[in-house]
Amino acid sequence: DSGVTQTPKHLITATGQRVTLRCSPRSGDLSVYWYQQSLDQGLQFLIQYYNGEERAKGNILERFSAQQFPDLHSELNLSSLELGDSALYFCASSPVDWDEQFFGPGTRLTVL
């Protein structure tokens, strides 16, 4: 158990819908990262937050947004969902920027 929690574990929704994925980092970790893993695109880094501020951006679509709250948990919002958004979404946390990252179990999103 890495200490990073993600909810929900599974999510099934329809095209055009909006979903929110939640991540709670390990206690004391200030940095949160989001990754997407799909068959088409492989493993991709989406976005990083550090102590509430966006720090680095990867291949995150404009339909996707994220934030990190004062209690350091983070949410990834995916809107206008398409079939191609079906993927495993991982959250990770680290004490400081790009230090050793600890991953959550992932949220499997299925868009029908």
Partner 1 sequence: AQKVTQAQTEISVVEKEDVTLDCVYETRDTTYYLFWYKQPPSGELVFLIRRNSFDEQNEISGRYSWNFQKSTSSFNFTITASQVVDSAVYFCALQGGSEKLVFGKGMKLTVNP
Interaction site with partner 1 (CB under 8 A): 2, 35, 42-45, 48, 55-59, 88, 90, 92, 98-103, 105-106
Give least dist CB 58 to partner 1, A. Answer: 5
Closer residue to partner 1 in complex, CB, 72/107: 107
Residue 109 one-letter amino acid: L
Q: What strands lie across the sheet with 64-68, from one edge to the other?
A: 5-7, 19-24, 74-78, 64-68
Closer residue to partner 1 in complex, CB, 15/97: 97
CB atoms within 10 A of CB 1: 6
- Residues sharing a CB contact under 8 Å with residue 42, sequence separation 6 or more, in sequence order: none
Give least dist CB 93 to partner 1, A. Answer: 11
Closer residue to partner 1 in complex, CB, 6/78: 6
